[in-house]
Amino acid sequence: MKLTSIKLCNFRSFYGKTCELALAVSHLKNTTIIYGNNGAGKTSLLNAFTWLLYEKFSAAFASIDQLVNKRAIAEAKIGQSVECWVELAWEHDSKRYRVKRQCRVYKHDNGIDVGKTELYMQVAGDEGKWYLPPQLPEDIIGQILPASLHQYFFFDGERIEEIVRSDKKAEIAEATKIFLGVEVINRSIRHLQEAKKSLENELRLIGDSEIKKLLKQQGKIELEIELINKRQREITKELEYQNTFKKETSKRLRELNAAKKLQERRQELEKLKASNQDNLRHTRETIKKAISSRGHTVILSEITAKFREIIEDLKEKGKLTTGISREFIQNLLDSSSCICGTSLFEENQARLNLENWLEKAGSSEVEETAIRMSAQVDEIDKQSALFWETIDKEQAQIGHLRNAIAEIEVELDNIEERLRKDPSEEIRNLQKRLDKIEEKITELTLEQGANQQKVINLKTDLESLNKQISRQKLNEEKQILAQRRISATQDAINRLTKVKVLQEQQFRLQLEKRVQEIFSEISFTPYIPRISEKYELTLVENTSGLEMPVAASTGENQILSLSFISSIIDRVRDWSQKKMLMVADSSTFPIVMDSPFGSLDEIYRKHIAQIIPQLANQLIVLVTKTQWRGEVEDEMSCRVGKEYVLTYYSPKPDCEQDFIEISGERYPLVKQSPNEFEYSEIIEVERE
Instruction: Tell me the C-alpha distance between 72 and 61, whole Å.
Output: 20
503-532: which residues touch another protein (CB under 8 A)?
503, 506-507, 510
- Least distance (Å) from another protein to the CB of residue 521? 19
Q: Which of 502, 548, 603, 638 binds another protein (CB under 8 A)?
A: 502
Instruction: Tell me the C-alpha distance between 673 and 140, whole Å.
Output: 41
Nearest to 106 by CA among 139, 68, 142: 68
Instruction: Tell me the C-alpha distance between 299 and 161, whole Å.
Output: 104
Region of 326-334, 445-453, 482-490, 540-548 interacting with another protein (CB under 8 A): 482-490
Asked whether position 204 contacts another protein by CB under 8 A, the answer is no
- Least distance (Å) from another protein to the CB of residue 653? 49
* SS3 per residue for 230-253: HHHHHHHHHHHHHHHHHHHHHHHH
- Least distance (Å) from another protein to the CB of residue 476? 17
Q: Which is nearer to another protein, 496 or 615 (CB)?
A: 496
> CB-based contacts of 65: which residues, under 8 Å, 6+ apart?
114
Q: Which of 288, 495, 534, 687 binds another protein (CB under 8 A)?
A: 495
- Least distance (Å) from another protein to the CB of residue 483? 10
Asked whether position 366 contacts another protein by CB under 8 A, the answer is no
Residue 178 CA, distance from chain mean position: 29
Q: Which of 491, 547, 684, 686 binds another protein (CB under 8 A)?
A: 491
How far are the Cα atoms of 124, 167, 175, 553, 567 from residue 164, in angstroms, in the given order?
Answer: 38, 8, 12, 11, 14
Q: Which is nearer to another protein, 119 or 280 (CB)?
A: 119
Asked whether position 194 contacts another protein by CB under 8 A, the answer is yes
Nearest to 644 by CA among 155, 2, 14, 219: 14
Region of 115-123, 303-311, 379-387, 485-493 interacting with another protein (CB under 8 A): 485-493
Asked whether position 173 contacts another protein by CB under 8 A, the answer is no
Q: Which is nearer to another protein, 150 or 639 (CB)?
A: 150
How far are the Cα atoms of 297, 298, 376, 381 from residue 302, in angstroms, in the given order?
Answer: 10, 9, 15, 11
Opening angle at CA 677, ends 102 and 672, nearest 5: 125
Q: Which of 112, 124, 404, 499 binds another protein (CB under 8 A)?
A: 499
DSSP at 657: P
Nearest to 14 by CA among 685, 644, 625, 682: 682
Q: Which is nearer to another protein, 447 or 585 (CB)?
A: 585
Sign of the alpha-carbon torsion through 108, 112, 116, 121: positive
- Least distance (Å) from another protein to the CB of residue 199? 7
Asked whether position 206 contacts another protein by CB under 8 A, the answer is no
Q: Which of 147, 280, 320, 398 binds another protein (CB under 8 A)?
A: 147
Asked whether position 498 contacts another protein by CB under 8 A, the answer is yes
Region of 235-243, 493-501, 634-642, 648-656 interacting with another protein (CB under 8 A): 493-501
Q: Which of 13, 30, 31, 188 binds another protein (CB under 8 A)?
A: 188
Instruction: Tell me the C-alpha distance between 146 and 582, whole Å.
Output: 13
Instruction: Tell me the C-alpha distance between 353 and 344, whole Å.
Output: 10
Q: Which is nearer to another protein, 488 or 548 (CB)?
A: 488
- Least distance (Å) from another protein to the CB of residue 191? 5
Contact between 84 and 18 under an 8 Å Cβ cutoff? The reply is no
Asked whether position 195 contacts another protein by CB under 8 A, the answer is yes
Asked whether position 192 contacts another protein by CB under 8 A, the answer is yes
Instruction: Tell me the C-alpha distance between 470 and 465, whole Å.
Output: 9
Q: Which is nearer to another protein, 198 or 369 (CB)?
A: 198
- Least distance (Å) from another protein to the CB of residue 53? 11
Opening angle at CA 593, ends 562 and 157, nearest 5: 60
In the stretch 549-588, what mask flags binding to another protein with x, by CB under 8 A?
--------------------------x--x-xx-x-----
Asked whether position 146 contacts another protein by CB under 8 A, the answer is yes
Asked whether position 481 contacts another protein by CB under 8 A, the answer is yes
- Least distance (Å) from another protein to the CB of residue 518? 17
Instruction: Tell me the C-alpha distance between 325 and 328, whole Å.
Output: 5
Q: How many residues bind another protein (CB under 8 A)?
A: 41
Opening angle at CA 351, ends 348 and 357, nearest 5: 145
Instruction: Tell me the C-alpha distance between 584 and 684, whole Å.
Output: 32
Asked whether position 484 contacts another protein by CB under 8 A, the answer is yes
Instruction: Tell me the C-alpha distance between 111 and 634, whole Å.
Output: 49
Q: Which residues are near another protein by CB under 8 A? A: 138-139, 142-143, 146-148, 178, 183-185, 187-188, 191-192, 194-195, 198-199, 481, 484-485, 488-489, 491-492, 494-496, 498-499, 502-503, 506-507, 510, 575, 578, 580-581, 583
